[in-house]
Structure 1
Amino acid sequence: MAEQVMSEVGTQLPRVLIVDDSRMVRASLIKQIRDKFDVREEGDGEAGWQALLLDPTIEVVISDIGMPRLDGFGLLERIRASRLSRVNALPVLIISGEDENEARLRAQQLGATDFITKGTPRVELVARLEALAKLAQTRRELEQSREQLVRRNRGDVSVMVIEVDHYDRLCETYGHSVGQLVHRKLSKLLSAKVRKEDTIAHLAEGQFAVISPTADLDACGAFALRLRRAIETIVMTYKEHRIRVSLTVGLASAHGDDRITLEQLLQLAAQRVAEGRAMGGNRVVSDSGEVTPDNVGRFSRLAVSVDHALTQIRNGSTDEARRRLRELTQTLLPLLELIESEYRVGLPLQELGEKAQSATDLHATSTLGARTVWRT
């Protein structure tokens, strides 16, 4: 009876396909992950491909690069080109003998979800596989419940694909560990800011997706701008270097069309990330082009941030602060009144107040209706 229970529990573990021509490497990987995953192993890319076609229970693929018959790059190309949605959307973890930037870049270009070196510590390997298995599970559950989700929310489902600008260059310059640190910081930031009903998915290193029911593009655009602004204020120190990062975000929405699948929305959002990347990065791109604080939508305007304005000014960029000077003045008036009451230096508070009052209050109507609001 105990053996039967153990067997039933074992079948519930996420199934991982390991493709590597080295029996020793396969055995080592299996030993590290067998308590967390059900494992299938194959000795070359062609055998791995046949296993994927015949075994629908596989949720994650680990593949070596150099193999006979079909190498890891060829296997990855087949997976991403497959007409079977359960195959082409599978998370693929490429494993290499060395941390070769060229190999990593090619793997990412072909659609690898993640990349590690042989000898990666067990804790990190298991953590990455668990994240990939969760991604596969999330995609499967979302697609399965797509019809109910659209019916319940009248098709108002939006997707954001969020990418760290120049992530490969960041890893090449400072090392992969610094890139991972940036990835974790962004993951933590997203987890703190999205709503409970939203879903965060890890697409690749330095790239995430947020799936948002009941959210329109204006609301997503406003959130993306706030997120981009928040990441700009983060400064990381590595040895003698001060590292700043920026984000490019692509937006897509079903617009009430229940014929659009989640994968199609993700592809649309990813295409818009590519458009933003081509414009130089640090962009938010929607179906109508670049989203800015000036065109994001009347009800979804950015709340003014004094901290952000000061950061921009210190960095020598005053354009945004100039555009929002009246709002900044209105925000600062209570502090200026306190300063004047303490120091009596003759600040022109009345004149400042009149100028600030003349600005259109862009936030007075933001509480009307059931608008989507994220934490900031």
Structure 2
Amino acid sequence: MSIAPDNNSPQLPRVLIVDDSRMVRASLIKQIRANFDVREEADGEAGWQALLLDPTIEVVISDIGMPKLDGFGLLGRIRASKLARIQELPVIIISGEDENEAREKAKTAGATDFITKGTPTVELLARLDALVKLAQTRRELEKSREQLVRNYHGDVSVMAIEIDHFVELSERYGHHVAQLIHRKMSKLLSAKVRKEDTVAHLAEGQFAIISPSADLDACGAFALRMRRAIETIVMTYKEERIRITLTVGLASAHGDRHMTLEELIALAVARVADGKTMGGNIVVSDSGEVTPENVGRFSRLAVSVDHALTQLRTGSVDEVRRRLRELVGTMMPLLEFIDTEYRTGMPLGLLAERANLINIERTEVGAPIRAPH
């Protein structure tokens, strides 16, 4: 797979620069205009009005000393706003000197970052890029949380996925090549997950997949398949072959554990760190390394029954037929329960045999299942 420029690039993220110095605004715009769309205002009051009227702004860079409304006043309004899109905006406070007092005041007031005028372009772009990704991830996670609350009350699992040696890739081939690898990985993940899953960007080269109604076994199986698939992909750049590997951390919360989505993601990311200390190119769960041998009883069988039903309703019979074995395995516990409750004597052993379900350690496979007295 060759690395080529993405001709369908999304619109550049918008940054609001608020500074009463035209020269400072012009200097900042020159530094970031290749990577960001810029809106500029000359005082805090005008900056505040811009925020109210322009929902596309993703990051604010504000001077401290300005007429009408200074930087601290603007920051206070942002953090006190009743509009979530404004209240949660990343805000960088910029000053002419590296003043500890100003830095502490900005931090206390809720500033996300603090830089001095004259900050090198590379550093400024890196900070802005990180803040934009952070804001995007928060929105994606909030959307996922709302969806989970509406639709699911069972297990929720998180996979944190990191491209191994991503920083080294960036240093060797250039940041633009690393970004292309990141985007291609994002598209690949989005194409492979279920429709009810959500792919979120945590940082450059790092993703999270939020999977409702999926346990660790199912996620472990998916992670192993994804890791093996990535190992077979060869990317080329200037006739040089690039191979990538993944380290994956898994975390899951049952309904009675009351873990928040943020806590689950943090736990999965921590397990990625554990995997990197073990050498990388590995899947790590609560019990250590996940392998095909220990991934679990139903690991190879996890598919979405709802998705299969939708495919049947829309006539995609062949798609369902290709996953029929996995579907039988996923539904087997439910079928066993139904057979026990209604004493139907369903030939589940024969069904398992016909579906060629290996590694399913059913008690008395093929024998009638007796209902409890």
Q: What's the TM-score, normalizing by structure 2?
A: 0.57
How far apart are residue 96 of structure 1 and its match? 6.4
**Secondary structure, counterpart of 1:253 in structure 2:** strand
1:184 Cα deviation from its structure 2 partner: 1.3
- Tell me, in whole angstroms, the C-alpha distance in 2 between the residues paired with 1:168 and 1:19: 32
- Name the residue aligned to 1:140: 142
Of structures 1 and 2, the larger Rg is shown by: 2
Aligned letter for 2:56? Answer: F
- Name the structure 2 match of 1:32: 37
Asked if the contact 1:162–1:247 (Cα under 8 Å) also holds between the matched residues in 2, the reply is: yes
CA pair 278-189 structure 1, distance change in 2 beyond 3 A: same
> Does 2:156 align with 1:157?
yes
| 1:54 matched to 2:80 | yes
Q: Confirm or deny that 1:68 pairs with 2:97.
A: yes
Alpha-carbon deviations, 1:92-118, whole Å to 9, x = none? 9xx963436xx99xx7xxxx6835xxx
- What residue number does 1:97 align with? 120
Does the 8 Å CA contact 2:61/2:91 hold for their aligned counterparts?
no
- Conserved in 2, the CA contact under 8 Å of 1:165 and 1:246? yes
Gaps of 5+ in 2: 1-12, 40-53, 66-70, 303-351, 361-373
- 1:162·1:273 contact (CA, 8 Å) conserved in 2? yes
Quick check: 1:19–1:44 contact (8 Å CA) kept in 2? no
RMSD: 4.4
Amino acid at match of 2:357: T
Q: Tell me by how many angstroms 1:238 deviates.
A: 1.7
Q: Matches of residues 190-269 of structure 1 in structure 2 within 5 Å? A: 190-257=189-256, 259-269=258-268
Is 1:42 equivalent to 2:62 in the alignment? yes
Partners of 1:19 and 1:166 in 2: how far apart? 37
In the alignment, the residues of structure 2 paired with residue 219 and residue 184 of structure 1 have an alpha-carbon distance, to the nearest angstrom, of: 25
> Is 1:232–1:244's contact at 8 Å kept on the other side of the alignment?
yes
Alignment match, 2:309: none
Deviations 1:55-106 (A, max 9, x none): 45244426488863569xx79x969xx9xxxx89x899xx963436xx99xx
Question: Percent identical across equivalent pairs?
Answer: 52
Name the structure 1 match of 2:356.
Answer: 364
Return the alpha-carbon distance in structure 2 between the equivalents of residues 70 and 201 of structure 1: 36
Q: Which residue of the partner structure matches residue 282 of structure 2?
A: 283
State the shift of 1:267 in Å.
0.5
Q: Is the 8 A contact 1:199 1:210 kept in 2?
A: yes
Query: C-alpha displacement at 1:42, in angstroms?
Result: 1.2
Over 3 Å counting, the alpha-carbon distance change for 1:197 and 1:113 in structure 2 is: farther
1:59 to 1:18, Cα distance in 2 relative to 1, 3 A: farther
Compared with structure 1, are the counterparts of its residues 258 and 302 closer, same or farther at alpha carbon in structure 2 (3 Å cutoff)? closer
Specify the code of the residue in structure 2 equivalent to 1:54.
A
Q: Distance in 2 between matches of 1:159 and 1:91?
A: 28
Q: Is the 1:91–1:113 Cα contact (8 Å) retained in structure 2?
A: no
* Number of aligned positions between the proteins: 263
Q: Which runs of 5+ in 1 are unaligned?
A: 1-13, 116-127, 304-359, 369-376
Q: Is the partner of 1:273 in helix, strand or coil?
A: helix
CA distance in 1, matches of 2:227, 2:94: 35
